[in-house]
Structure 1
Amino acid sequence: MARFTSPDRSQLDMLRQPLTDGERMVFNFFDHHLPEEWEIYIQPHLNGLRPDFVLLNPKVGIAVFEVKDWDFNAMSYRMEHNTSSLPTLIATKDGMSFSLQRDNPIEKVYQYKEELYNLYCPRLQRGAGFSVITAGTIFPFANDNYVKKLFAPSLKYRKMSQYPQYNPISGKNALHSGDLYAVFPEARRLYSGQMSDLMYKDLRNWLIEPDFSETQRKPIMLDKVQRSFVTSRTKSGYRRIRGAAGSGKSLVLAARAAELLGQGKQVLVVTFNITLLHYLMDIAVRWPQAKGKTRSDITWLNFHYWCKRICLEQGYAEEYDNLWTTHSVQQVLKFYLPALAEKIIDASGNNFLSQYDAILVDEGQDFLPNWWSVLRKAGKPDCEMLLVADATQDIYGTAKSWTDEAMIGAGFSGSWAELDVSYRLPQLAMEKAADFARQFLPPEMVNLPKSDQIDMGLEPCGLRWVHVVNGDVTDICCEELLRLSTSASSETLAIADLTFLCNSRKFGLEVVKKLGYRGIRAVHTFDADEKESRRQKIGFYMGDARIKATTLHSFKGWESRSLVLFIENGEANHKTLALLYTGLTRLKRHPDGSSLTVVSQSSALCEYGKSWPSFEYL
């Protein structure tokens, strides 16, 4: 039986956070000496924590290890402590002393053990259940006796020294001699009465590598049509691409940005959605032909921040501030801020330095023609301009502004380039999204995805609709998220892949708080303060180790293999229906299965929900 590792050992040289020399030494040690029943998880996502290694055996238990490549000859170390306070790790170098308590590995593994016991192992018996959890520390380049003596006060304070077999600390001596039981005493155990198959499955979903992390190591795969858009430009330099949900519009745009960077071009990528920028940046780094640092050398901005940057760079800060005091927010965003940016560019003439060889706009249906007009003025002579859009996802009601006349005035000629094959959506989810669009969206705005002929519908896809009449919907949303994270879900589903979407920051924050009461952390964008919410959006990315939670607006353009979506009982107008369609099409296929649960209070959508494979009326 080959040992299971996550990520697979063949991927270790491609990790986003490369292994240190010491970590690689420890991995090789465990891989060589441990019985094959022990699974090895490298840098797993643990509810916001990222230990170096976790070992899991379905019959024995779990072990978490922190590895420190510290050179104890570079500085002198000591513990400052008294009988009543937490011992503090102090280092001294060149006569200067400073605290390293934040990096104290004993405190880290203590935290890991506490969280494993209280959150990840709810089935463990109180007290005795600790016997299935090992929390160890390894110093690959330090003497064993030295580190044991140095950290003895910390171990004693945390009462870990009472059970050394469950809290081992080791150094280079044990590693070099191949002494597995000195590094991990519980490795000799063959069975634990405290461990069970259900507990093993509970733990595995917390430890398995998220789909997003695995995807980040893979190069972008494009079909012939997509590749042609990435590797060519039109004679005029202007191109507009219309594509259905999941057809690869964002892939093409991000890859084109990376391709142009490789040609030495100055590239600006613009979106309306702040959070979408992280997603596009993560795609761009995967383009094999990318040369240069795509994250830093390409300019990634949402449109209104780009306008603000122009105002500040050109000395118009006061005029910018005045806009918000004399006009409504919507008026500023739609008209006055773009107009001010255009005025500044026109007045700057040759002094306007922020010009680009290429300007690429994603989710173009969210843009107004006057915004595009301003962006064009930031282009150098012969600038390449790319606009990608899907009118079916017109959640702001702006797509109708792009009349044929407006398109000609924007520099476009001829028909749209088309991307109509969906490579993202599972077959069943695609069919249900198409049914929704036919029933609830205007026919002239519908651009339905076509199935990839390679997909035979064999990939598992769990679709569930929960219609709520009575009951606490925040509790129900939490329960549906947790249902996906239990042993009923795919063994390869990572908790960090779970995503919660709704249309209200207030409601979303309540769900996040209730998850927090259960010890489950989420990265979210629901803060009631607008400025703080914007900061959260900038920091929102799928590589975070926590559950994801955001609005349907902010998740536009993204994807996830496991979604819970909440719909309020409100008016089913065009914008809200288009927004819901956008949410339904965020699901990403996966060989081991994907899942989408809708929790709905909308009576107008109840009959549609009954057509889903799983329907529950509460």
Structure 2
Amino acid sequence: MAITIPETIRSSATTGERLFFRTLKTFLPDDYIVYFEPDIQGRRPDFVIIGPDLGIVVLEVKDYTKNTLFQINHDEWHIVTTSGDQAVIKSPMKQARDNMFHVVDTLKKDKSLIQLDGKYKFQLKFPYGHGVVFTRLYSKDFVQEGLYSVIEPNLCFTRDEIDPDKEGFSEEVLMEKILNMFIVPFRLKESLSIEDINAIRYHLFPEVRISAEYKPPVPYQDQLLLSLHDIKTMDLHQENLAKQIGDKNRLIRGVAGSGKTIILASRAKMLSKQNPDWKILILCYNISLSNAIQQMIHHMLNEPEDLFDFDPTAMSVKNENIIVRNFHSWLKNDLRIREQQLPDIIEKLERNEAILPTYDAVLIDEGQDFEADWLRLVSLLINADTQSLLLVEDRAQTIYQRKRSYLEDTGLSFRGRSKVLSINYRNTQQIVKFAWEFYRKHSVFKNKVVNRDLEGEIIAPQSTKRRGPEPGIVKAANFFEEMRIVARSINKLNMEKKVPLEDVLILYRVKRTHKFPIIDIIKRSLKDEGLPYYWITENDVSKRSYAKDDGKVKISTIDSSKGLDFRAVFIVNVDSMPFPLEENKEREVSLLYIGMTRAKEYLCLSYSGDSEFTAYLNGILEERKQKQNGIEKVN
């Protein structure tokens, strides 16, 4: 079964489009991608098929009958419209061909996708084709009406060739017809790699680009081409979700690292593009996450549709119709109300006795941290005509005690309107396993872990196949020694593994303990190793001014790291957890789980004292030691 984007076809599609969509989805190989009506830099072909052993095929679909066709030739067709009038249109074959070359010209600009020598030098390194699907005309109609004199038989599908209920249909004929639609007469010797397919998607569909990773192109075309090799795109499931979240209220529940924030930001960009007059609000709980989303949206809106054909000196686009706020800043600065006033304001809004700004769409990240009144207020300020609310959450990252019933909180039901993201793309297999085993061991919710989209349940993460080193555990004599080891390890990662300092994060639970001034020792240790740093959580100003790409190691509380990710993460002073003054131990479990899942490749936990969590880490160290001794004895 092929991957289709969107996952299901829109209800307003024609009967023929729906039939062909189902046929392609059911009978094409599992690794084929079928796009329905994709927007490719201003053009919308009906179908684009990408196959690793195939290349690209662009198809137009026509629901014409014999009575529709009045007079046709290779260039233009005279047809009879549904109202009985005559119209002159471009030949459907020519439409498909023009769309195909539009796709080809877009992709040819990337040196990694063209042949650099041989007979097909400067052509795409994979075949491309085009064709037309006639959903209401049969092969016998083509013969009787002499249509094959104008339309090449190998460049078109008829009803009996696409309808599984017809006797003449077969999976083999379907594939054979698609293979015969190629105008470039060569077959792939080697299948397209994942990198090739991602590069194709990256250029054709700008919305799948993970723009937080985007670097502005350099002026020289050759260097620009090379700079695009290390591209980052959404996974197909994420792309599907962003494109088919649907209208009205929607809920996405995902594990840490599943790309929830990327999907939310892409959704905001798409809504803005489709509805330039809409007022769109993005809300989250913590300040540093709102800042990170703001930067992500800015990059997305300023990234050119065509990376090879734009003016790098042009003024940047301001996202004037997308507002990004953390909840309390929005309350104070946009609505000009205090949190204590919420019950009274909500009551007045429900009675139509108060006027506050309204929004055509609201997108909430880390929704599990929002209180009932906050959600109720938001739902009352959404345009009644659009009712566009997207809630994104992960219950395993809940660090605030909120009772949750979205139906009661918002007055909106999410039953049948929610999606689950269970694959963790951010972390390596080793980090996912390490973090989840800790969570399962210590969380009081361990018996509520399921893989279903039931409201209130916690989703068990599945990891991708990306592997990396086992998370490090450092037990030191005191916090001074602990931080010396951490600072040296950061230098080592930077020198030997080429991890940029700006992609390193140090997380701490408390600023000081009765034994040590934690933050002062962190800063001093980094300074002694010659490592520049930026303390994100020093104050509100530093949270709002945080920029990832500044060449500095970042320091943050675990609370404020939600939604962020770094290549290397060091969680220090773990012996301060569970924090003795925190009555809710579950919050401490979630916090440490959140901290661990910020790391994309390298994770290290360090401590110099004792606590419930360090006792667990001691057990892992002992297991590793015994395993190592066993290996040494065998050798």
TM-score range, shorter chain: 0.5 to 0.7
- Paired AA for residue 611 in structure 1: I
Residue of 605, 608, 614 corresponding to 2:616 = 608
The superposition leaves residues 496-548 of structure 1 with CA deviations (integer Å, 9 ceiling, x where unpaired) of 22211011134234412443355533211343xxxxx1111111231222110
The superposition leaves residues 309-337 of structure 1 with CA deviations (integer Å, 9 ceiling, x where unpaired) of 2443xxx6xxx4xxxxxxxxxxx5xxx25
SS at match of 1:561: strand
The superposition leaves residues 62-88 of structure 1 with CA deviations (integer Å, 9 ceiling, x where unpaired) of xxxxxxxxxxxxxxxxxxxxxxxxxxx
Aligned positions of 1:257-268 closer than 5 A? 257-263=268-274, 264=276, 265-268=278-281
Residue of 553, 560, 572 corresponding to 2:559 = 553
SS at match of 1:492: coil
SS at match of 1:275: helix
Q: Identity of paired residues, percent?
A: 22
Indicate the residue corresponding to 2:260 in structure 1: 249
| Preserved CA contact (<8 Å) 2:242 2:266 | yes
SS at match of 2:459: coil
Change (3 A) 1:261 1:614: farther
Aligned positions of 1:86-105 closer than 5 A? none
Indicate the residue corresponding to 2:383 in structure 1: 380
| TM-score after normalising by structure 2 | 0.52
The superposition leaves residues 257-294 of structure 1 with CA deviations (integer Å, 9 ceiling, x where unpaired) of 11111121321000001100122233334548989936
Indicate the residue corresponding to 2:597 in structure 1: 585
What RMSD in Å do the two structures reach over aligned CA positions? 3.3
SS at match of 1:596: strand
- Paired AA for residue 224 in structure 1: L
Change (3 A) 1:351 1:393: closer
Indicate the residue corresponding to 1:422 in structure 2: 424
Bigger relative contact order (CA 8 A; separation at least 6): 1
Indicate the residue corresponding to 1:536 in structure 2: 542
Question: Is it true that 1:406 corresponds to 2:417 in the alignment?
Answer: no
Q: How many angstroms apart in 1 are the aligned matches of 2:394 and 2:366?
A: 7
Indicate the residue corresponding to 1:467 in structure 2: 475
TM superposition shift of 1:451: 1.9
Q: How many angstroms apart in 1 are the aligned matches of 2:607 and 2:211?
A: 24
Q: How many angstroms apart in 2 are the aligned matches of 1:555 and 1:545?
A: 18
Change (3 A) 1:451 1:571: closer
TM superposition shift of 1:612: 5.7
TM superposition shift of 1:349: 6.0
Q: How many angstroms apart in 2 are the aligned matches of 1:434 and 1:513?
A: 33
- Paired AA for residue 372 in structure 1: L
| Preserved CA contact (<8 Å) 1:501 1:563 | yes
Q: How many angstroms apart in 2 are the aligned matches of 1:585 and 1:282?
A: 21
| Preserved CA contact (<8 Å) 2:368 2:398 | yes
Change (3 A) 1:519 1:255: same
SS at match of 2:600: coil
SS at match of 1:576: helix
Indicate the residue corresponding to 2:575 in structure 1: 568
| TM-score after normalising by structure 1 | 0.54
Change (3 A) 1:559 1:600: farther
Q: How many angstroms apart in 1 are the aligned matches of 2:526 and 2:382?
A: 47
Residue of 273, 279, 283 corresponding to 2:286 = 273
Change (3 A) 1:273 1:526: closer
SS at match of 2:592: helix
Residue of 331, 335, 339 corresponding to 1:307 = 331
Indicate the residue corresponding to 2:369 in structure 1: 366
Change (3 A) 1:613 1:464: farther
Indicate the residue corresponding to 1:207 in structure 2: none
Q: How many angstroms apart in 2 are the aligned matches of 1:395 and 1:276?
A: 15
Change (3 A) 1:415 1:608: farther
- Paired AA for residue 402 in structure 1: R
Q: How many angstroms apart in 2 are the aligned matches of 1:491 and 1:536?
A: 29
Indicate the residue corresponding to 1:495 in structure 2: 501
Question: Is it true that 1:226 corresponds to 2:234 in the alignment?
Answer: no
SS at match of 1:380: coil
Q: How many angstroms apart in 2 are the aligned matches of 1:395 and 1:409?
A: 24
**Aligned residue pair count:** 367
TM superposition shift of 1:248: 0.8
TM superposition shift of 1:447: 2.2
Indicate the residue corresponding to 2:317 in structure 1: 293
The superposition leaves residues 399-427 of structure 1 with CA deviations (integer Å, 9 ceiling, x where unpaired) of xx113753673443336310011111111
The superposition leaves residues 564-609 of structure 1 with CA deviations (integer Å, 9 ceiling, x where unpaired) of 10213344611111100000111114xxxx3434336343223432
Indicate the residue corresponding to 1:69 in structure 2: none
Q: How many angstroms apart in 1 are the aligned matches of 2:418 and 2:490?
A: 40
- Paired AA for residue 469 in structure 2: C
Aligned positions of 1:34-113 closer than 5 A? none
Indicate the residue corresponding to 2:101 in structure 1: none
Q: Which structure 2 segments of 5+ residues have no match?
A: 1-209, 217-227, 306-315, 449-456, 513-517, 580-584, 626-635
**Segment drifting more, 357-366 vs 540-549:** 540-549
The superposition leaves residues 215-254 of structure 1 with CA deviations (integer Å, 9 ceiling, x where unpaired) of 556776223332232123435x100110011111111101
SS at match of 1:545: coil
Q: Which structure 1 segments of 5+ residues have no match?
A: 1-210, 321-331, 528-532
Indicate the residue corresponding to 1:239 in structure 2: 250
Change (3 A) 1:426 1:250: same
Q: How many angstroms apart in 1 are the aligned matches of 2:369 and 2:567?
A: 25
The superposition leaves residues 427-473 of structure 1 with CA deviations (integer Å, 9 ceiling, x where unpaired) of 11111111111101121264221022xx252xx325211234x32x1
Change (3 A) 1:604 1:571: same
Q: How many angstroms apart in 2 are the aligned matches of 1:339 and 1:512?
A: 43
Q: How many angstroms apart in 2 are the aligned matches of 1:431 and 1:359?
A: 34
Indicate the residue corresponding to 1:12 in structure 2: none
Q: How many angstroms apart in 2 are the aligned matches of 1:614 and 1:536?
A: 41
Change (3 A) 1:350 1:342: closer
Indicate the residue corresponding to 1:397 in structure 2: 401
Q: How many angstroms apart in 2 are the aligned matches of 1:613 and 1:481?
A: 25
Change (3 A) 1:547 1:296: farther
Q: How many angstroms apart in 2 are the aligned matches of 1:275 and 1:487?
A: 25
| Preserved CA contact (<8 Å) 2:348 2:354 | no
Q: How many angstroms apart in 2 are the aligned matches of 1:519 and 1:586?
A: 24
| Preserved CA contact (<8 Å) 1:275 1:554 | yes
Q: How many angstroms apart in 2 are the aligned matches of 1:406 and 1:414?
A: 17
SS at match of 1:432: helix
SS at match of 2:460: coil
Q: How many angstroms apart in 1 are the aligned matches of 2:406 and 2:354?
A: 33
Q: How many angstroms apart in 1 are the aligned matches of 2:624 and 2:483?
A: 15
- Paired AA for residue 575 in structure 2: E
Change (3 A) 1:613 1:429: farther
Question: Is it true that 1:283 corresponds to 2:296 in the alignment?
Answer: yes
Indicate the residue corresponding to 1:138 in structure 2: none
Change (3 A) 1:404 1:523: closer
TM superposition shift of 1:355: 1.9
SS at match of 1:424: coil
Indicate the residue corresponding to 1:437 in structure 2: 439
Q: How many angstroms apart in 2 are the aligned matches of 1:409 and 1:584?
A: 35
